[in-house]
């Protein structure tokens, strides 16, 4: 009985297809090499002059025009500056107008009281020498001006207004400070109303002649390379610091993108050496904050 002989045509077809794929791969590789050689295409990485994550020497006092948000004659030029990735921290220059700063101070001034801290065991407020300022809270959505500011904070942080606590206005006189601390909670008592604090926006309402910096002693980076290093107080040189400037807003995150707490967000307020420091703080929660 004669055996059935398979056709060789399918084999030739498969071999032809393999040759075509191989040829296309060689051509594609050749094109990529040409683009790399001409500088049209680059491989992602820290080489070639790209700034490293913890290289703070890339920070500049004023970024290029492409990062400018808007220019207002009364408010000044607005732009956002990345100052750290561990913790994630950003400065929005001229976030508030001079009139808005003065308005918040005038609202708070008649109601200022000795500042307190959160007791990690009970979750309640207590007096402490680690925080020597005075302050008061302004209810969320109190009036049109505050609602406008809160909406601007939501746009800046990408966190809805409903997730924010009421503004806390603080006043630091000469010698007053706030020792390094975390804004996130270490107790269940405070997280019941709106969940864990995820981020903070700190707005500077006045100029400070000397001292009063916001310092991140656990931040990652070569601190001495920042442009304003020589203007910092001794306290300010103990970490990555932001000098208070009226109208500027500092946004930093207390939680990492994976929702874990970020220990590098440890921060404090350096003692005021000369002048008065007014600021307004907004804390944002993971869940909607119940007023």
Tens digits of pLDDT across the chain (291 residues): 555 555 554 555 556 667 776 777 777 777 777 766 665 555 544 444 545 667 777 665 554 444 555 556 566 789 999 999 999 999 999 999 999 999 999 999 999 998 766 665 555 565 566 677 899 999 999 999 999 999 999 999 999 999 999 999 999 999 999 999 999 998 888 898 899 999 999 999 999 999 999 999 999 988 888 889 999 999 999 999 999 999 999 999 999 999 999 999 999 999 999 999 999 999 999 999 987
Q: How far is CA 90 from CA 68, 157, 191, 248, in A?
A: 14, 10, 25, 10
Q: How far is the C-alpha of 69 from the C-alpha of 220, rounded, in Å?
A: 28
Q: Could you read off the pLDDT of 67-106 as tens digits, one per residue?
A: 555 556 566 789 999 999 999 999 999 999 999 999 999 9
Cβ within 8 Å of residue 98, ≥6 positions away: 74, 75, 246, 247
What pLDDT does residue 188 have? 86
What pLDDT does residue 48 have? 47
- Comparing CA positions, the residue from 111, 113, 115, 109 lying closest to residue 132 is 115
What pLDDT does residue 19 have? 75
What pLDDT does residue 129 have? 65
- Comparing CA positions, the residue from 39, 187, 205 lying closest to residue 125 is 187
Q: Could you read off the pLDDT of 235-255 as tens digits, one per residue?
A: 999 999 999 999 999 999 999
Q: How far is the C-alpha of 228 from the C-alpha of 223, rounded, in Å?
A: 10
* Residue 215: CB atoms within 10 Å: 24
Q: How far is the C-alpha of 119 from the C-alpha of 54, rounded, in Å?
A: 33
- Comparing CA positions, the residue from 102, 109, 91, 291 lying closest to residue 202 is 91
Q: How far is CA 255 from CA 79, 184, 199, 263, in A?
A: 24, 8, 7, 9
What pLDDT does residue 75 have? 65
Angle at 170 between CA 166 and CA 174, to 5 degrees: 175
Helix (H) or strand (E) holding 216: strand 214-216
Q: What's the alpha-carbon Rg for the chain, to the nearest Å?
A: 27
pTM: 0.76
Question: Is residue 117 helix, strand or coil?
Answer: strand
- Comparing CA positions, the residue from 202, 169, 182, 167 lying closest to residue 262 is 182
């Amino acid at each position: 009985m004669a055996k059935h002989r398979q056709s060789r045509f399918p084999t030739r077809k498969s071999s032809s297809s393999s040759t075509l794929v191989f040829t296309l791969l060689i051509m594609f590789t050749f094109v990529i090499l040409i683009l790399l050689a001409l500088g049209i295409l680059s491989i992602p990485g820290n080489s070639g002059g790209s700034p490293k994550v913890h290289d703070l020497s890339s920070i500049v006092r004023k970024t290029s025009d492409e990062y400018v948000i808007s220019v207002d004659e009364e408010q000044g030029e607005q732009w956002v500056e990345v100052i750290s990735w561990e913790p994630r921290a950003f400065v929005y220059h001229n976030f508030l107008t001079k009139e808005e700063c003065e308005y918040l101070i005038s609202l708070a001034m008649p109601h200022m009281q000795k500042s307190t801290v959160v007791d990690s065991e009970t979750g309640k407020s207590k007096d402490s020498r680690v925080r020597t300022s005075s302050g008061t809270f302004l209810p969320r959505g109190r009036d049109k001006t505050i609602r406008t500011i809160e909406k601007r904070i939501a746009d800046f942080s990408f966190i809805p207004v409903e997730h924010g606590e009421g503004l806390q206005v603080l006043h630091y006189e000469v010698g007053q400070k706030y020792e390094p601390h975390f804004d996130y909670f270490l107790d269940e008592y405070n997280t019941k109303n709106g969940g864990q604090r995820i981020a903070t926006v700190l707005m500077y309402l006045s100029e400070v002649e000397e001292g009063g910096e916001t310092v991140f002693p656990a931040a990652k980076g070569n601190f001495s390379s920042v442009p304003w290093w020589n203007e910092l107080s001794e306290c300010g040189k103990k970490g990555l610091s932001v000098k208070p400037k009226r109208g500027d807003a500092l946004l930093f995150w207390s939680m990492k993108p994976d929702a874990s707490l970020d220990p590098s967000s440890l921060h404090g307020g350096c003692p005021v050496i000369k002048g008065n420091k007014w600021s307004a703080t907004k804390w944002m929660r993971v869940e909607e904050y119940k007023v």
